Structure 1
Amino acid sequence: MSVGAAGVAAPDSMARVVVEPGFEAPVQTDVLIVGAGACGLTAGLLLADLGVDAVVLERDAQPSGSTSLSSGFIPAAGTRAQQALGVQDSAERFAEDIQGKAHGTAAPALVAAYTQAIAPALDHLESRHGLQWEVLTGFLYPGHSRHRMHTLAARTGVALEQALEAAVEAAAVPILCEARATELVVDAARRVLGVRARRPDGSVEAIGCRALLLACNGYGGAPALVRRYIPEMAEATFGGHTGNDGTALHWGEALGAHLADMQAYQGHGSWAVPHGVLMTWALMVEGGVQINREGRRFHDESQGYSEAALHVVAQPGGIAWNVFDTPVHTLAQGFPDFVEAERAGAVRRADSLEALAALIACDPGTLGETLSAWTPGEPDAFGRRLPRRLDAPFYAVKVTGALFHTQGGLDIDARTRVLDSQGQPLPNLWAAGGAARGVSGNHVSGYLSGNGLLSAVAGGYIAAHDMAAFLRTSTTT
């Protein structure tokens, strides 16, 4: 799509690109970052460390986004925290796991770039900015061959977002909240000149920049785009952040950027209803099962929570129950999000098979056959090897399948530069995290646990280094 003098506005969106060679802004910065999630804040921190002035725009009153809604777990291979535990891992092995889950369809250059950058990124955030990482060793998420999930002590996405925000504030990087970027201003050569952002009172603020990073996430909150690219989730619950409105896509398309992997997304087959919170998939990994309203299992729960979303929404009423027993319940007490959900009433206890059947509203005989249908350690009808049969008391959580965030977006190279339809980088535009294509290939089943935060943190780290190098050699004033 070409950009005309009057600009290009996307249907059902405030995003707009305008050609304005004489653009002047009262505020000027070297780098402007749109979005204050893990990607934008990581980039802001690294730019400050590299001596580059940056400003972060955030549409909400308080930075949160998809990061706060996540588990806060970041997969990385070769960090100091991982090495201290004696875990033998490498970027190459991590890359193999990513491609294994994506059936070889993830962008090779990005997989290599992210798996190589994420350990230095986490180590830097720890040594320079005080984020103390722990490695989860109690279980392996589906598709990971090593213990590589890194988390802060609080083990929540909110804690991760808050820690990054505190570090950004300590580094004196400005975060302009309640500033919704609506207009991208460029010259005739598609060089970004700045952005106009709308304030809650309707006023508009103009900010000029020499380089722009789009870290404003994907399009899961834009129904028209979901229907266009992932129609199978058009009627599913959206469990992500409303800021996923497709702004980056609209701007990119108007500039002639190429889009990639648009059918990829992270689903989640464990969205607790009616409470509206994610239920940790560790329940399934450690021996839990999903039961539909008929009292039957319907898939191999060990394959991953993303593709489980499709299996769950295909059940009667789009509803299933996560069923587990005391050993799994005890493990789950180590997850603050689970404890909070249990306090809210999302976790129900049933002291007998009959009580569990009454809770699910299914036939006790059918449920009994389901829970006795596998031999521990042997492949069941779905090919899963469950470690044991479940014993009373049982615990159950009513769930549906949800769309959490998209994994397709602006095509980027290994330096996170946005590419046009000819594969050439746009003059001074970068994208990472949910705004860009990820490393999940082109289908929901390609999502390896943690791919979202991997792309966000590694992408922000890479983008900051590349933008700093660009500014050192650029003659743009």
Structure 2
Amino acid sequence: MTLLAAAQADFPLHMPVIVAGGGACGLVAALAAHDAGAEVVVIERDPVPRGSTSMSLGAVCASGTADQRRLGVDDDAERFAADVMEKTRGTADLALARTVGQLSGEAVDWLREAHGVELSLDPNWPPAFGHSRMRMHVSPGRSGTDLMDRLLAACDRAGIPIVTSATLESLFVEGKRVTGVRYARPDGSREDIGCGALILATCGFGGNHAMIAKHIPAMREARYFGWEGNQGDGILLGEAMGAALADMDAYQGLGLLAEPAGIDLNPRFLIEGGVQVNRLGQRFSNELDDVSGQGARVIAQPGSMAWVIYDERIHRSCFDLPQYVALREVGGVQSADTLDALASRAGIDPAGLAETLAAIPHGEADAWGRRFDTPPLAPPFHAVRVSGALFHTQGGLAIDTGGRVLDEEGNPFPNLLAGGGAARGISGRGPSGYLPGAGLSSAIALGLACGRTAATLA
């Protein structure tokens, strides 16, 4: 990652807006810039744009959408921001939380109406893990890959060029202004393009072991279940220009990574009444309290493993979820008619498991504060073995509500913007401020903001 003097450049091509990174944020930013009347190009490191979005459940938490209004869900940006501030214990940026609350709903409706990218409110995701309202919106395929395919198709219909196998390598700068970029091809060749504005949407730094050791040392030995291309390129380039960083210790953890399949289990298994136990058959937390911080809790159990225990009712409810279909196909689900038989097959202490399930106080809060308002688990039973992991970093370049990158004094750069994993998110500090769907919510909301701002600046 290097900075080059603008005087060194002789650009054969100039684009008003360049988007670096072809994930959800980058593609939404490109669509927004295009709709605002700017010519735009996306440059993407991988041969096929995928990134962290494709590995996610594809769920976007959004407030004030047409679907919410249609289904009678009373929600708005202020309520969204209040949930964020409560979950992050006041460590998130309030103005940014309000912006994401406002633009996430606007983006969901705009993507559907203007670009045919279907995102619908999922009634099977009740409020949980810090959400006070039903907010989870999903595409018809209920996966991150399906969402990416729809965004790529929308860009294709809009005629937005996406240059793949192009690794952002250098920025040409004049003072604090970016005048163009240099990217490298797999054959070693390099190409330069001038720009009026640059949007960094190059994702986070989960795959950069040195950056994890520096900023999130508690997870330096944890398994990384994310896109290996997440090397923090955009963050490093912004930092080299003198940009401020924020919330660099924030991350999305996973306590539901099915082992050994390496498939993330949907939190609905817990929302609908399932529990997590260790090999002694003991629960160790409120499973609905901290979807991200649960990863570290699982790692702290004997053997760094846990099991999700659920019954036939939950099995049938989640039967068609794409990840669950894949998990069953590889034999990742243990099933039995009795708890003893299930414990024997899964390698859990049977007496401990029986005692744990018998002690669940249905209709009132347990010792960890979880209230079970779902029916007691009943045979036949099912179990999935899971581990904890790091999925996605949530800190990055400091930005204003329009997506403009800020310097150490809080002043915006003239034409440099950032979103998605390259920018500070709304999860505050550490792992416990993450709300389900917040990563994609920030990606599309800040993508919309960045695209509009860049078009104006360009």
The TM-score range, normalised by the shorter chain, is over 0.9
- Aligned partners of 2:450 and 2:6: how far apart in 1? 26
1:119 maps to a residue whose letter is G
* Matched residue, 1:330: 316
* Matched residue, 1:439: 426
* Matched residue, 1:454: 441
**Partner secondary structure for residue 359 of structure 2:** coil
Alpha-carbon contact 1:295-1:360 (below 8 Å) kept: no
Q: Which among 337, 359, 364 is matched to residue 378 of structure 1?
A: 364
**Partner secondary structure for residue 442 of structure 1:** coil
C-alpha offsets along residues 286-320 of structure 1, whole Å, 9 cap, x if unaligned? 11111112221111101132010010011112111
Alpha-carbon contact 1:71-1:156 (below 8 Å) kept: yes
* Matched residue, 1:51: 37
4+ runs deviating over 4 angstroms: none
Shift of 1:60: 0.7
Structure 1 window deviating more from structure 2 (437-446 vs 192-201): it is 192-201
C-alpha offsets along residues 113-136 of structure 1, whole Å, 9 cap, x if unaligned? 111111221111111111223211
**Partner secondary structure for residue 303 of structure 1:** coil
Instruction: For structure 1, list consecutive stretches of 5 or more residues without a partner in the other structure.
Output: 1-14, 472-477
C-alpha offsets along residues 18-47 of structure 1, whole Å, 9 cap, x if unaligned? 234231222221111010111000011111
**Partner secondary structure for residue 238 of structure 1:** coil
C-alpha offsets along residues 313-348 of structure 1, whole Å, 9 cap, x if unaligned? 111121111111111111112422222222222222
User: 1:193-342 residue pairs with structure 2 within 5 A?
Assistant: 193-342=179-328
Instruction: For structure 2, list consecutive stretches of 5 or more residues without a partner in the other structure.
Output: none
Shift of 1:76: 1.3
Q: Which among 136, 139, 148 is matched to residue 161 of structure 1?
A: 148
Shift of 1:170: 0.7
Alpha-carbon contact 2:80-2:98 (below 8 Å) kept: no
Shift of 1:83: 1.4
1:467 maps onto 2:457 in alignment = no
**Partner secondary structure for residue 458 of structure 1:** helix
Q: Which among 158, 171, 182 is matched to residue 184 of structure 1?
A: 171
Structure 1 window deviating more from structure 2 (421-430 vs 81-90): it is 81-90
- Aligned partners of 1:449 and 1:378: how far apart in 2? 24
Alpha-carbon contact 1:375-1:388 (below 8 Å) kept: no
**Partner secondary structure for residue 321 of structure 1:** strand
- Aligned partners of 1:369 and 1:17: how far apart in 2? 62
* Matched residue, 1:35: 21
Identity of aligned residues (%): 46
* Matched residue, 2:50: 64
Q: Which among 102, 107, 114 is matched to residue 116 of structure 1?
A: 102
Q: Which among 77, 82, 87 is matched to residue 63 of structure 2?
A: 77
1:355 maps onto 2:341 in alignment = yes
1:145 maps to a residue whose letter is S
1:60 maps to a residue whose letter is D
C-alpha offsets along residues 134-161 of structure 1, whole Å, 9 cap, x if unaligned? 2111223321111111111111111110
2:53 maps to a residue whose letter is T
Shift of 1:82: 1.7
2:404 maps to a residue whose letter is R
Q: Which among 80, 89, 95 is matched to residue 94 of structure 1?
A: 80
- Aligned partners of 1:337 and 1:361: how far apart in 2? 23
2:8 maps to a residue whose letter is G
**Partner secondary structure for residue 288 of structure 2:** helix
* Matched residue, 2:410: 423
Alpha-carbon contact 1:74-1:151 (below 8 Å) kept: yes
**Partner secondary structure for residue 244 of structure 1:** coil
Alpha-carbon contact 1:273-1:399 (below 8 Å) kept: yes
C-alpha offsets along residues 143-195 of structure 1, whole Å, 9 cap, x if unaligned? 111111111111111111000000001101100011111112212x1311211
- Aligned partners of 2:135 and 2:352: how far apart in 1? 39
Alpha-carbon contact 1:141-1:282 (below 8 Å) kept: no
Query: What TM-score, normalized to structure 2?
Result: 0.97
1:353 maps to a residue whose letter is L
- Count residues in correspondence: 456
- Aligned partners of 1:395 and 1:140: how far apart in 2? 24
**Partner secondary structure for residue 254 of structure 2:** strand
C-alpha offsets along residues 178-225 of structure 1, whole Å, 9 cap, x if unaligned? 1111112212x1311211111111211212111100001111110111
- Aligned partners of 1:419 and 1:369: how far apart in 2? 54
Shift of 1:247: 0.6
Q: Which among 107, 114, 130 is matched to residue 128 of structure 1?
A: 114
Query: What TM-score, normalized to structure 1?
Result: 0.93
Q: Which among 134, 156, 167 is matched to residue 147 of structure 1?
A: 134
**Partner secondary structure for residue 153 of structure 2:** helix
2:313 maps to a residue whose letter is P
Alpha-carbon contact 2:204-2:421 (below 8 Å) kept: yes
Shift of 1:263: 1.1
- Aligned partners of 1:362 and 1:396: how far apart in 2? 10
Shift of 1:17: 2.2
Alpha-carbon contact 1:332-1:339 (below 8 Å) kept: no
C-alpha offsets along residues 226-260 of structure 1, whole Å, 9 cap, x if unaligned? 11111111111111111210111211111111100
Alpha-carbon contact 2:334-2:346 (below 8 Å) kept: no
* Matched residue, 1:398: 385
* Matched residue, 1:5: none
